[in-house]
């Protein structure tokens, strides 16, 4: 598993987050840490993990944003599978073991799983899958359109070769809401999805962090840009899906 970790000014959370990676019961993984020109101690904290040969550290000389950093991670990745991890979030220690076993067993191209929001306390570890369902590509698109699938890229595991062979499956650089187009692009290049339901969530998503990308502030210029980005990417998504799935015209509209 290649784990892409974009790092930017997360010194308060980085140790805890990287430790949840290091403790994974599944040992065959690489962690591609990319510091996106942080101005705090994030890079120095990340350096400490280089004593573990599975951890690799790179640095952007200028701030590329989340999309540009993840795209660089895709190019640097060498594993069979790819997984995205945000450095203020946490993972249950057995997540990779469960995901790799499931993607092999189901012979799916893509796994999607549920997550748990948290703000302060570390949630309990996940130990079991409650429900599992499988879908073909058309059914998966319908799930996405009906908002029964999350667009968050860290809620998926897929094969790195799919991304390497299809340069379209990248994050739009310089835009907010980068996941709007990434997941639709990815789904159109898979045959089968497995959807997993963990009893306590398979990914622990930290909310209400001051300074995070999703942190709300009342800056009018920032808000205007976010609205423009959202409209632009929704339009791209609409046009792309309309072109490729004429049989789903009503759902797409």
Burial (0-12, 13-18, 19+ Cβ within 10 Å), 47: middle
**Nearest of 134, 84, 142, 114 to residue 200 by alpha carbon:** 114
Domain count, the chain: 1
**Nearest of 160, 182, 1, 216 to residue 91 by alpha carbon:** 1
Q: Is the pLDDT of residue 8 over 90?
A: yes
Report the length, in residues, of the chain. 253
CATH assignment of the domain containing 189: 3.90.550.10
What local confidence, expressed as pLDDT, does residue 215 receive? 47
Query: How, if at all, do strands 192-198 and 129-136 pair?
Result: antiparallel
b/e sequence 58-67, b meaning 16+ C-beta within 10 Å: eebeeebbbb
Per-residue pLDDT of 129-153, as tens digits, reads 667 899 999 999 999 998 889 989 9
What local confidence, expressed as pLDDT, does residue 175 receive? 81
Which domain, by its residues, includes 106? 2-252
Compute the mean pLDDT over every residue in the chain, rounded to the nearest whole number.
90
Per-residue pLDDT of 38-52, as tens digits, reads 999 999 999 999 999
Q: Where does the pLDDT of residue 213 fall: very low under 50, low under 70, confident under 90, or very high at 90 and above? A: very low
Per-residue pLDDT of 147-200, as tens digits, reads 889 989 999 999 999 999 999 999 999 888 888 899 999 999 999 999 999 888
């Amino acid at each position: 598993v290649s784990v892409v970790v974009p790092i930017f000014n997360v010194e308060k959370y980085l140790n805890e987050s990287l430790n949840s990676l290091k403790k994974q019961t599944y040992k065959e993984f690489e962690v591609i840490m990319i510091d996106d020109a942080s101005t705090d101690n994030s890079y120095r904290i990340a350096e400490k993990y280089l004593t573990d040969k599975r951890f690799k550290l790179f640095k952007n000389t200028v701030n590329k944003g989340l999309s540009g950093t993840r795209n660089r991670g895709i190019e640097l990745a060498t594993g069979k599978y790819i997984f995205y991890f945000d450095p203020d979030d946490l993972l249950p220690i057995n997540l990779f073991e469960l995901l790799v076993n499931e993607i092999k067993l189901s012979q799916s191209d893509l796994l999607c799983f549920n997550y748990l929001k948290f703000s302060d306390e570390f949630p309990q570890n996940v130990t079991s899958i409650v429900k599992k369902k499988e879908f073909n590509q058309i059914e998966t698109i319908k799930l996405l359109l009906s908002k029964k699938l999350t667009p968050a890229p860290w809620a998926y595991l897929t094969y790195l070769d799919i991304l390497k062979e299809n340069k379209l499956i990248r994050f739009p650089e310089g835009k907010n809401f980068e996941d709007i187009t990434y997941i639709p692009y990815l789904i159109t290049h898979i045959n089968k999805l497995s959807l997993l339901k963990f009893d306590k969530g398979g990914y622990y998503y930290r909310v209400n962090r001051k300074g995070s990308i999703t942190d709300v502030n009342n800056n009018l210029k920032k808000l205007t840009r976010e609205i423009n980005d959202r409209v632009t990417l929704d339009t791209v998504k609409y046009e792309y899906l309309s072109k490729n799935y004429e049989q789903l015209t009503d759902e797409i509209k």
